[in-house]
Structure 1
Amino acid sequence: MKVFFMINVGRRASALPPALLNEFRAAFEGAGVSVEIVECHDPGDCPDLLRRAEAEGFDTLFIGGGDGTIHSVLNVMTPGAFTLGVVPMGTVNAFARSFGIPLRPMAAVKVLLNDSQVVAMDVGRVNDRQFLCFASVGFDAAVVHDVALGKVKKLLGRLAFSFCTLRAVGRRARLVQFKVEGAGFEQQKGHSLVLSNVKNYAGVNLFSRARPDSGDMEMVVFGPKGLMPLARWAAVSMSRSGEAPTIAVKQFCVTGERLLIVQLDGEPVTLEHSERLEFETLPGAVRVLLPRAKR
């Protein structure tokens, strides 16, 4: 194993503490693994860094960041070039929470190096964009866009999503309707659709049936009768009394009369021709390191 460890430090001027970097290097040295640690301050630098890593023979890519960082890497790396290891250093860290990766970066590195296995994980694709963890269309995606626009995520962390959801419910924001075709039903109208490849969504285990290598993803669609069904689904999912009403899907289409709001892996995205969204699951499209004890 030859590891290229890329850490998303954002646009802050200061680098990571030298003590933490030394701890990382010591962990790799103790496991007998060669590593190069690179701090990435600008997402625009990511493609060049990955091309260099591939050219220099690195076969494993450790990503230090959150779910959005994973998303960015997935969409610029050469398919099949690396096995991915996720070191949670973001806000929600849904990927890490779903698979039992320790939330402390140093502990995560040790687990990935010493007690992990390679899993061929499914990848989702919508139009020309890929996602690894989850996606949503409509109201839920609008909340993610609202979180990204201001400083609320930095101030409130994971609670930012709950805050923006309540604010949006209060003003009944963006209840844009769409139609879903395929996925086991002829046609269904809705105002919010959530699709997940992992158990954890917005910091809570809402998709208990999701499996990383099942060949499909779990989806729930909320109809045009207001927002109460969404609240009931979240309540059932967070309780121990039953299963939330999700459906396993491989391929389907979402259409709207105007451009639809989309988020992928917790990142607000703008897709061309988003009035028609073609979703599909790509089975086993990326190799990831996951803890042996939990998948």
Structure 2
Amino acid sequence: MKVRFIANPTAGGVNRVGELTESIRRVLGAEAGFFEVKVTTEKGGAGTFAREAVLEGYDVVVACGGDGTINEVATALVGTSVALAIVPLGSGNGLALSLGIPLEIDGAVAKLKEPHRRLKMDVGKVCGRHFFSTAGFGFDALLAKKYNEGSLSARVRGILPYIPIAIKEFYRYSPEEVEIVIGNRHIEVTPFILTVANVPRFGGNAIIAPDAKPDDGLLDLVIVPEVGLKKSYQLTNKLMKGQIDSFKGYQCIRAEEIEIRRETSAMVHADGEPFDWQGSIHIRVLRSALNVLI
């Protein structure tokens, strides 16, 4: 088996490449096959290494990092026979947690030597970009933007930087009315959270779509209505306990294709990577488009 590990040295705020390399030697040293480690030095580097691996005939590419690194690597593998494996080194690790992949390096690396299941995973596509966990168009998209811009998040990873950002931006955020089109169905809402999920988790313990499945051929559209300060605490509590579907006004609609229409430009995130978009937003599922070792 020919395997390429692609490691992001800044994932999770700590360089764990040495620990990863030692784990590969220790756990896979006696295994038949070719294993190499590529370390990214710039944004987009993980995707470049993954595309090269496809062209060079690798069997498995292992994304070693957070959800951003995984997105880069997995995007290069969509529609190919090359399988994705994951060593979660990020702060949220939403996809790894949703797929039941161990968070410990040794445990994740050992998946390559154990009898493993190859999941034919669905992939989401929004505005021409792939996403594997979630895409967001409401308050979560704004948080993703501010998190990526923040000086604190550059020094401290995890949920901690989100807390002051969320408190500050909550008072500034003004939800906008949107029209959601699913087939012949038209829904007009003014959502606080508007998220399309392929798996249950944002990251960590934050579960946005408890019943989402990565291989059912459907995406879960989650709508949470506008909330006041008191309700926002209740919402956060339910989100972190996996009970958000019991929050008053919560809606989840499953669909293969979704269109979001709005009057103004939108902030969007795909797996936590934010970008601006002008015009209607089109989201669709690519069925069984990615092979994942779990």
Distance, in Å, in 1 between the alignment partners of 2:75 and 2:19 is 32
Secondary structure of the equivalent of 1:179?
A: strand
State the one-letter code of the partner of 1:193: L
Alignment length (residue pairs)? 285
Secondary structure of the equivalent of 1:113?
A: coil
2:271 paired with 1:269: no
- In 2 relative to 1, CA 190–229 (structure 1 residues): closer, same or farther, beyond 3 Å? farther
Distance, in Å, in 2 between the alignment partners of 1:32 and 1:262 is 44
Matches within 5 A, 1:119-130: 119-130=119-130
State the one-letter code of the partner of 1:268: P
CA-based RMSD: 2.7
Per-residue CA shift, 1:128-162, capped at 9, x if unaligned?
A: 11101101002220011111101232325223233
Distance, in Å, in 2 between the alignment partners of 1:143 and 1:68 is 15
The match for 1:43 is 43
Distance, in Å, in 2 between the alignment partners of 1:45 and 1:75 is 13
The match for 2:221 is 219
Alignment check: 8 A CA contact 1:181 1:187 kept? yes
Moved more, 86-95 or 18-27: 18-27
- In 2 relative to 1, CA 227–193 (structure 1 residues): closer, same or farther, beyond 3 Å? farther
- In 2 relative to 1, CA 212–64 (structure 1 residues): closer, same or farther, beyond 3 Å? same
The match for 1:55 is 55
The match for 2:264 is 258
Alignment check: 8 A CA contact 1:262 1:268 kept? yes
The match for 1:283 is 287
Per-residue CA shift, 1:13-56, capped at 9, x if unaligned?
A: x9755464133133223333321111111123334423432232
State the one-letter code of the partner of 2:107: A
The match for 2:110 is 110
The match for 1:131 is 131
The match for 2:151 is 151
The match for 1:196 is 197
Report the identity percentage.
26
Alignment check: 8 A CA contact 2:23 2:109 kept? no
The match for 1:293 is none
Matches within 5 A, 1:174-253: 174-182=174-182, 185-191=185-191, 192-204=193-205, 205-223=207-225, 232-239=234-241, 243-244=245-246, 245=250, 246-253=252-259
Secondary structure of the equivalent of 2:108?
A: helix
Distance, in Å, in 2 between the alignment partners of 1:56 and 1:240 is 42
Alignment check: 8 A CA contact 2:20 2:105 kept? no
For structure 2, the residue ranges without an aligned partner over 5 or more in a row are none
For structure 1, the residue ranges without an aligned partner over 5 or more in a row are 291-295
2:100 paired with 1:100: yes
2:75 paired with 1:69: no
- In 2 relative to 1, CA 156–253 (structure 1 residues): closer, same or farther, beyond 3 Å? same
Please report the TM-score for the alignment, with normalisation by the length of structure 1. Answer: 0.85
The match for 1:90 is 90
- In 2 relative to 1, CA 217–233 (structure 1 residues): closer, same or farther, beyond 3 Å? farther
